[in-house]
Amino acid sequence: MKLNMERTERLFRVSSAVRLQGGELCGNGVEPFVGAMWLDQEAFPDETVVAAARVFVLGRFVKVRYVLPGSPAEASGLQAGDEVVSVGEHPLETPRGWAKANSRIQRLKSALEDHGDRPLSLVVRRDGVDMAVSIEPAKACKTRIALLNDDSVNAFTDGTTISVTTGMMRFATDDDEMAMLLGHELGHIMLGHVNKQLGNQMIGGFFGFLLDLGIAAAGVNTGGVFTRMGAQSGALAYSQAFETEADYLGLYFTARSGYDISRAPDFFRKMGIEHPAAIKDGFLSTHPSTPERAAAMENAVGEIQTKLKQGHPLVPERKADSKTVNSQ
């Protein structure tokens, strides 16, 4: 339990840097950012609530688990261990009988989102004393970060959330590597690749369906095989182009957050060598480690490093073919 919390904290710390410093590249795809991790016993499964409450000393209130250095939360004076009594005029204690859908931590997060860029007033309890805290949110690229208890070496996005497995956390022990992964997946989100891929899949499936219908008219039952094949082909139609675009933008996200991108091509090569299963079933299944891709990454690294040396802004020079970054 503690190990997973440490991993979650690491993901939060690295992803926060990538999201905050990359805000300029995300256009309208940004959201208010406070820089605190919250912890509440209601967020744990029923079978672990008692243990979680004991391990993390949880009680009636949402607890501040972690405050990101340099964040709006730290600037406000918020500290790890503080208990959140209320948001504005709204207490966070859960009335008896409320469902977990209305849990304290979810209502706290909703309040943060509803406030937008406006200062957020909290009452926190520290060492038994209540005090007022006012937080002025920053702006960060809009996404969610999830840790999955899975031994496979994998990271992916559904277009909204970036999911990282515990297997990937063990593999990418270096924060520079973790930032590269998160920057890459954030690139997919900001470039709209997931929706584009779904569109390709639907188009491919439609043409496959027409072929199934035509063959069925001739008296042969295909069992929908061409529909399935068309959908699969459509989903993969532009995957390599998407990966190249996400590589490029992701390196800018990573570099802007202060992490080292110089080993990016070697990192993806290492993953393919040390974890060949990832090529078939995991992260590299749609991230082919080709010489062309490695060369493109090396060129992007050189482009960014030149800008760093010359003191130029880290703004991508290439526009994506599928969707421009700032359109979100």
Can you give 271-287 as a three-state secondary structure string? HHHHCCHHHHCCHHHCC
Please provide the CATH number assigned to the domain covering 35-136.
2.30.42.10
Helix (H, G, I), strand (E, B) or coil at 288: coil
Helix (H, G, I), strand (E, B) or coil at 32: strand
Phi, psi of 142 (to 5 degrees): -80, 115
Each residue's pLDDT tens digit in the chain (328 positions)? 678 888 899 999 999 999 999 999 998 899 889 999 888 776 666 667 677 677 677 777 888 989 999 999 999 999 999 988 888 777 776 544 444 445 777 777 777 777 667 888 899 999 999 999 999 999 999 999 999 888 888 888 888 889 999 999 998 889 999 999 999 999 989 888 676 555 444 433 333 333 434 444 444 444 444 334 433 443 444 467 778 888 899 999 999 999 999 988 888 777 666 655 544 444 444 454 556 777 888 999 999 999 999 999 999 987 654 443 433 3
Domain ranges (residues) in the chain:
35-136, 144-194+236-327
In the DSSP assignment, the letter for residue 42 is G
User: What pTM did the predictor assign?
Assistant: 0.75
